[in-house]
Amino acid sequence: MQRIPVLGPGGLDHRSAARFLLALVGKQKAATLWGAVTSAVWMTSQALIPVAIGRAIDGGIARNDSGEVVWWSMAVLLLGVIRATSGIAFYRHSIITRTVSASLTVRMVTRHVTRLGASLPRRQDADALIATSTSDGTTIGVGLLYAGRIMGAVVAVTAVTVAMLTVSVPLGLLVLVTVPVLSGLSSLLLRPLHRHQDNYRSLQGRLAGRAIDIASGLRVLRGVGGERQFAARFRSDSAQLRSADVGVARAEADYEAARVLVPGLVTVIVTYTAALFALDQRLTIGQVIAFYGFATFLAMPLTDFMEGTSQVTRALVAARRVTRLLNVEPWQGKTPDAAATKPRNRGKAHLTDTTSGLAVPPATFMAVACADPSDADALARRLARFEDSGDPALGGESLASLPIPVVRSRVLLGLNSDRFFAGTVREEIAPAGTVDTADITAALQIACATDVIDALPDGLDTRMTGRGRTFSGGQLQRLRLTRALLADAEFTVLVEPTNAVDAYTEYRVAENLARFHETHPEGRSTVVFTLSPLLLQRAHRVAYVEDGRVIAAGTHDDMLESHSAYRMLVARDDASRVGK
């Protein structure tokens, strides 16, 4: 069995849907050729069986010639074996092609999504994206499967045509005209079928979305007792889907009826004509049977042809969706090829943004308090260059001029929306895999997360889910913090990294971070966007931001004294709020 072909660095050509399909075929050249050959042999041998039967009846049984009977019976058997062998070979080929094509599509999409990273369209499109790569991948696979079948059908039809014409020219021509005409007519039914299918599919997607909601929303539903309401709504949507489903079934029924009718009518027309010819002694009985067989069997490659063209069309539509995604450009300036090398000036560079007036010196623990919480997010993203705004610079060099991978390797942005991926806790908090256990232990201690790991049955080697639902919000937050620390970036930018933990833990985390920076001054800075007085107090420097600009800087205590707006914002006891 072939393997899934390896994708080169360039991946598959995806400039257009057709090119993408061709590239998929190109990845499986030998297999495609094999598919065409096997399906041709399969269909031809199938069509020739009636000829052999006709000969057996004609030349053998009718004439009482047992030698002929045995001879032709053996021919039938041989054809049967060839048919079976090639049929199975083709079947295997189709399933493999389908799987390989779908797999390659998934790989291409994954590769591109990781390339897009944060510039991926927002969450509401995520479900459509997942559908794109899974169901469209399968549709593409089915389309390619039929591509091989179409090639085989063409060969089989040609072979049978030649066979028919050698037996009887007028009858052969009759078959050649009626079969395509009738098949073509019934293919008209495919359009309504596909329309119904598309309608069904979009409803089904929505309903699946509802069911998926449960995974994330079950805690909420349980808490408020919303299960009945939810189920009731699902039921009404489900009823709607049912009627769409019935619509599809009706169109499918029409198509199935046509698939009975077309070969049936062809058979009647051909057999009738053949019988009339036989009456005029222009054909033998065996030839009548042979024509009956031709007519019946021709219908099969022709339905395949019909079905095949429609499946290829659908595959093209699916490929268009996939290529549209694959052609979404990573946000400007993102040059994936630029290698991220260790900078020579690590621990020397300042991270600055003159627009906001924010300046992060090397080797420091800094906190930023923003009067408007949305400023915190925006500024953090700006410093890590997750968006283009302001004029952030690193060591005097504009971030915009640096290749993105270089920025990513030097500035880490840690958000509360960051998630995990299914794996062991060790893999999740130290995804690079190069960190040793001592470092992990140290980072866990700073983040006050040691107890989280201790409570796990297999410690660091316990598996966790991507959403980490088995952990509480506070536990997850501490694990996220551990991961950010272990990334060991020159600048670690965090937004409200402790807003889900209790005051005592928050205090300890602040303490630990400060101590860490005092004992390990070399080479790294941590910037925390927060309103927590505990973090602010322990930070070496504090900047206070209003309307996107730093309007005061200094230590927490100084600023409490000198800046009433700052005091109002961060102080937690009403005494200081009112002002001493």
Partner 1 sequence: MKVRTLPVADVKFVRRFLRQVARRHRKELAYVLALYGVAVSSGLVGPRLLGALVEDVRDGTTAGHVTAVAAALGGFILLQAFLTRVAFRAAGRLAATVQGEIREKFVDDVLALPLAVVERSDDGDLVTRASQDTDTLRRAMQLAVPQVTEALVWIVLSLGALLLVSPLLSLALLIILPPLVMVNRWYLARARSGFLREAAASSGITEGLDATIQGAATVEAYGLEAHRVRRAERDTEAWYEAMGYTLRLRTVLYSVEEFLFTLPLAVALLLGGYAYNQGWADLGQVTAATLYILQLMFPLETLLDWVGTLQQGSASLARLLGVADQSEPEGAQSEQKPAGRGVIASADLSARDVRFGYDDGPDVLHGIDLVVRPGERVAIVGPTGSGKSTLARLLSGTHPPRMGDVQLAGIPLHELPHHDLRKHVVLVSQDQYVFGGTLRQNLELAASDVTQNAQAEADDTALWRALETVGADGWVDALPEKLDTTVGVGGEELTDAQSQQIALARLLLADPSVLILDEATSQLDPSSARQLERSFAAVLEGRTVISIAHRLHTARDADRIAVVEGGRVVEVGSHQDLIDQNGAYARLWSSWV
Return the residues of window 327-346 that contact partner 1 according to CB under 8 A: 340
Return the residues of window 75-114 that contact partner 1 according to CB under 8 A: 76-77, 79-81, 83-85, 87-88, 91-92, 95-96, 99-100, 103, 106-107, 109-111, 113-114
Which of the 8 DSSP states describes residue 422? S
453 bridge partner residues: none
Q: Backbone phi, then psi, for 463, in 5-degree steps?
A: -80, 145
Binding to partner 1 by CB under 8 A, coded x per residue (else -) over 27-46, reads: -------------------x
Which of the 8 DSSP states describes residue 256? H
Interface residue with partner 1 among 475, 482, 512, 526 (CB under 8 A) is: 475
Q: Which two tokens stand for residue 84?
A: 């079976």
Return the residues of window 378-397 that contact partner 1 according to CB under 8 A: 384, 386
| Site for partner 1 contains 250 (CB under 8 A) | yes
Interface residue with partner 1 among 16, 73, 355, 555 (CB under 8 A) is: 73
529 bridge partner residues: 368, 495
Return the residues of window 138-197 that contact partner 1 according to CB under 8 A: none
Q: How far is the CB of 45 from partner 1 (least distance, A)?
A: 10
Phi-psi region of 121 (alpha: psi -120 to 50; beta: other; left: phi over 0): beta
| Site for partner 1 contains 229 (CB under 8 A) | yes
Interface residue with partner 1 among 242, 348, 515, 520 (CB under 8 A) is: 242
Q: Which two tokens stand for residue 533?
A: 């007085």
| Site for partner 1 contains 569 (CB under 8 A) | yes
Binding to partner 1 by CB under 8 A, coded x per residue (else -) over 284-323, reads: -x--xx--xx--x---------------------------
The one-letter code for the residue type at 272 is Y
Q: How far is the CB of 180 from partner 1 (least distance, A)?
A: 19
3-state secondary structure of 158: helix
Interface residue with partner 1 among 176, 218, 359, 442 (CB under 8 A) is: 218
Return the residues of window 195-214 that contact partner 1 according to CB under 8 A: 204-214
- What is the length of the chain? 580
| Separation of alpha carbons 31 and 550, rounded Å | 64
Whether 144 and 101 have beta carbons less than 8 Å apart is answered as yes
| Separation of alpha carbons 73 and 67, rounded Å | 10
398 bridge partner residues: 393
Q: How far is the CB of 67 from partner 1 (least distance, A)?
A: 10
| Site for partner 1 contains 116 (CB under 8 A) | yes
Q: How far is the CB of 127 from partner 1 (least distance, A)?
A: 6
Return the residues of window 356-375 that contact partner 1 according to CB under 8 A: 373
Long-range Cβ contact pairs of 134-138 (< 8 A, separation 24 or more): 134/102, 134/106, 135/318, 136/105, 136/318, 136/319, 136/321, 136/322, 137/101, 137/102, 137/103, 137/105, 137/106, 137/109, 137/318, 137/322, 138/98, 138/102
CB atoms within 10 A of CB 505: 19
Interface residue with partner 1 among 18, 162, 232, 565 (CB under 8 A) is: 232
3-state secondary structure of 491: strand
Q: How far is the CB of 521 from partner 1 (least distance, A)?
A: 25
Applying CB under 8 A, which part among 162-170, 351-359, 454-462, 513-521 lies near partner 1?
454-462
Binding to partner 1 by CB under 8 A, coded x per residue (else -) over 478-517, reads: x----x---x-----------xxxxxxxxx----------
Applying CB under 8 A, which part among 170-178, 254-262, 437-445, 543-551 lies near partner 1?
254-262
| Separation of alpha carbons 155 and 145, rounded Å | 16
Site size for partner 1 (CB under 8 A): 182
| Site for partner 1 contains 565 (CB under 8 A) | no
Complex with partner 1: residue 517 or 538, whichever CB lies closer: 538
Interface residue with partner 1 among 457, 519, 522, 580 (CB under 8 A) is: 457
Order of strands, sheet of 351-353, starting from the edge strand that comes earlier in the sequence: 358-360, 351-353, 392-394, 397-398
Which residues does 161 contact at the CB level (< 8 Å), separation at least 6? 172, 176
Interface residue with partner 1 among 170, 347, 459, 473 (CB under 8 A) is: 473
For 361, 389, 409, 517, the CA distances from 402, given in Å and listed in that order, are: 19, 15, 11, 27
Q: How far is the CB of 73 from partner 1 (least distance, A)?
A: 4
Return the residues of window 389-448 that contact partner 1 according to CB under 8 A: 405, 408-409, 412-422, 431-432
| Separation of alpha carbons 46 and 156, rounded Å | 9
